Chain A
Amino acid sequence: EAQVTQNPRYLITVTGKKLTVTCSQNMNHEYMSWYRQDPGLGLRQIYYSMNVEVTDKGDVPEGYKVSRKEKRNFPLILESPSPNQTSLYFCASSQYRDWRDEQFFGPGTRLTVL
């Protein structure tokens, strides 16, 4: 089944404790992206990647890192999480090297930083 998977689905952590949210897609998609969803703010793009080893900042990249060492994986790293990073995070992928195709979204990761 074609899908985007994220792990973990739920995470409660404390300020400053490094964490990684994994994202994997099995559709051989070129483009991958991370978004955060907050009430009243909709989805905001954190980082995106147009191919292996090619990543770029979205609209809200502060406090996040990403890497794209393999085509299928695009982990989101929070080196020192803070409470303002409490949010619902979505990973997405699409076939072409940019936004133009439909983006397929993962199920989301709900992160709480205490």
Chain B
Amino acid sequence: AQSVSQHNHHVILSEAASLELGCNYSYGGTVNLFWYVQYPGQHLQLLLKYFSGDPLVKGIKGFEAEFIKSKFSFNLRKPSVQWSDTAEYFCAVNFGNEKLTFGTGTRLTIIP
């Protein structure tokens, strides 16, 4: 079955640390990939997306993600996090149909 996995449920980092959040999916066909962020008390908003082309995509607020097809992964990275990055992060995948499947989310806490 097509699924999306985010193995890091809760990540705690200090400010200025580097961040990498994992996202893996199970499907051998063409996929389209997204990262959404949900700040405390707010609704989800798009961080970045990948459809095709350069597998390294840059999004808002200094985030980037790399699509590695051989590893079925789309990990989110940021070189230096800030307290304001405290939020829940969702990876989402389209498996070539009309739907978007979300991962279970990773809660990120940044300690000042």
Task: Give the distance to chain B from A91, nearest Cβ to Cβ, in Å.
Answer: 10
- A89 CB to closest chain B CB, in angstroms? 11
Q: Which residues of B contact A98 (CB under 8 A)?
A: 98
Chain A neighbourhood of B102, CB < 8 A:
35, 42-44
B82 at the interface (CB under 8 A from A): no
How many Å lie between the Cα of A42 and that of B100 in the bound state? 12
Interface contact A58-B43, CB-CB below 8 Å: no
User: A102 contacts which chain B residues (CB < 8 A)?
Assistant: 46, 49
> Which residues of A92-113 are within 8 A (CB) of B?
92, 98-100, 102-103, 105-108
The minimal Cβ–Cβ distance linking B24 to chain A, given in whole angstroms, is 14
Asked, given contacts A99-B94, A100-B51, whether A42 binds B99 with beta carbons under 8 Å apart, the answer is no
Q: How distant is the Cα of A99 from the Cα of B42 in the complex, in angstroms?
A: 22
Q: What sequence of 0s and 1s flags, for each residue 78-112 of chain B, a beta carbon within 8 Å of any chain A beta carbon?
A: 00000000000010101000111111110000000
B: residues with CB less than 8 A from A are 6, 9, 32, 42-46, 49, 51, 90, 92, 94, 98-105
Contacts of A56 in B (CB 8 A): 98
Distance between A51 CB and nearest chain B CB, rounded to angstroms? 11
In the bound complex, residues from chain B placing their C-beta under 8 Å from that of A23 are: none
Contacts of B9 in A (CB 8 A): 40
Interface size class of A (residues with CB under 8 A): 20 to 34
6 other A-B residue contacts (CB within 8 Å) besides A59-B101, A105-B44? A40-B9, A40-B104, A42-B90, A45-B100, A50-B98, A100-B51
CB of B100 within 8 A of CB of A99, answer yes
Report B-chain residues with C-beta under 8 Å of the C-beta of A42: 6, 90, 102-105
A45-B51 Cα distance, complex, nearest whole Å: 21
Q: How far is the CA of A33 from the CA of B101 in the complex (A)?
A: 12
- Output the least CB separation between B13 and chain A (Å): 21
How far apart are A18's CB and chain B's nearest CB, in angstroms?
Answer: 26
Set B46, B51, B103, B105: member contacting A103, Cβ < 8 A: B46
A33 contacts across to B, CB distance below 8 A: 100
